């Protein structure tokens, strides 16, 4: 494990529901991060090709047989990613070229077989050698997300070995699922990636609590989104039409240590890539003296826990 390394958090949006343009933007951001000597770069929840924040703003989307919503779903599907697939292959190539670990959220589809009309809220981890180490789908779409996304399963619910130590991740409200957290803690994370649409106060609480509970570093990733990014098919509410450039998702990306304290304070209302130099990974072990929920603070003689994967 490297004693010192650089993390890049991407807090800006894709080209919404445009896979080709989003990939071009993503590859450009990775190139810039590579020039900065970045070891780990992280993109937010469903970065390819955009988080459906319109679900919480646009009127009429939940009406049965609503044509505009169906049109947005169709465009979202057609601009989603297959895993493996050409976009993931490109990212693997970039990861190898720059010796950089790439983590990203994405809207995922399956082109053939069962579930080939379903979109999944997914994440991938690609190591510095260009290997796709982990691919997992969000277990439970949250609230209005259930209109768009299918259910994930237990496969990939683990940390993977990289040159920076064991890296794992959860998506959004999975951080409020106690057994999901325990499964990840049991896999021995050094670095945890917390993907969010935006990291508002309660989600900062969840991210800090996760770091403290798991005695690991947490990279909480938020995004920026503006009214002008909303799908053109939908009737926008007044607060967006009056201010199309107004902020809908306001970021909040941060990095938290194993003691629950910030290494990078939350970054709100700013587009860009934020860099952080990491060292003193021994703090994971130092903080584990008082709390280790996978060892001396886990009572296997009292509790029984089992993870069921896809197999």
The contacts of residue 221 (CB under 8 Å, 6+ apart) are 9, 10, 11, 42, 43, 44, 45, 193, 194, 195, 196, 199, 253
Contact 184, 171 (CB under 8 A): no
Give the Cα separation of 59 and 234 in Å (integer).
8
Q: How far is 110 from 106, CA to CA, in rounded Å?
A: 13
Pick the catalytic residue from 138, 145, 174, 287: 138
Residue with tokens 């077989």: 113
Q: Catalytic one among 45, 87, 158, 189?
A: 45
Alpha carbons 64 and 67: distance in angstroms, whole number: 9
CB 130 within 8 A of CB 287: no
Catalytic residue among 172, 174, 189, 216: 172
8 A C-beta contact, residue 7 and residue 40: yes
Is residue 283 part of the annotated active site? The answer reads no
Catalytic residue at 216?
no
SS3 68: helix
Q: Which of 26, 3, 28, 43 is nearest to 277 (CA)?
A: 3
Q: How far apart are CA 12 and CA 22, in angstroms?
A: 11
Q: What residues contact residue 255 under an 8 Å CB cut-off, 6+ apart? A: 7, 9, 217, 218, 219, 220, 262, 263, 264, 276, 278
Q: Which two tokens stand for residue 262?
A: 């910030």
Q: Residue 42: which of 10, 64, 90, 74 has the closest Cα?
A: 10
Hey, which residues are catalytic here?
45, 138, 172
């Amino acid at each position: 494990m490297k004693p010192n390394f650089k993390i890049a958090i991407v807090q800006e949006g894709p080209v919404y529901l445009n896979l080709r343009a989003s990939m071009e933007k993503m590859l450009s951001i990775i190139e810039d991060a590579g020039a900065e000597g970045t070891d780990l770069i992280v993109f937010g929840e469903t970065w390819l090709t955009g988080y459906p924040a319109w679900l919480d703003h646009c009127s009429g989307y939940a009406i049965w047989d609503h044509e505009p919503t169906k049109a947005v779903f169709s465009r979202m599907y057609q601009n989603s990613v297959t895993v493996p697939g050409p976009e993931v292959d490109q990212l693997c190539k970039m990861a190898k070229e720059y010796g950089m670990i790439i983590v990203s959220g994405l809207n995922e589809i399956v082109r053939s077989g069962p579930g080939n009309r379903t979109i999944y809220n997914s994440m991938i981890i690609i190591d510095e050698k260009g290997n796709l180490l982990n691919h997992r789908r969000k277990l439970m779409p949250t609230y209005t997300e259930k209109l768009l996304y299918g259910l994930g399963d237990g496969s990939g619910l683990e940390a993977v070995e990289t040159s920076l130590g064991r890296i794992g991740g959860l998506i959004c409200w999975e951080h409020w699922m106690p057994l999901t957290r325990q499964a990840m803690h049991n896999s021995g994370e050094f670095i945890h990636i917390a993907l969010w649409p935006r990291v508002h106060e309660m989600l900062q609480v969840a991210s800090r609590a996760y770091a403290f509970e798991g005695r690991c570093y947490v990279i909480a990733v938020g995004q920026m989104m503006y009214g002008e990014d909303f799908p053109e098919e939908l009737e926008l509410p007044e607060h967006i039409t009056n201010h199309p450039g107004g902020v809908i998702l306001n970021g909040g990306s941060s990095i938290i240590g194993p003691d629950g304290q910030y290494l990078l304070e939350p970054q709100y209302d700013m587009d860009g890539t934020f860099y952080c130099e990491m060292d003193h990974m021994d703090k994971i072990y130092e903080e584990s003296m008082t709390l280790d929920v996978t060892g001396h603070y886990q009572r296997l003689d009292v509790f029984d826990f089992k993870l069921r994967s896809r197999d």
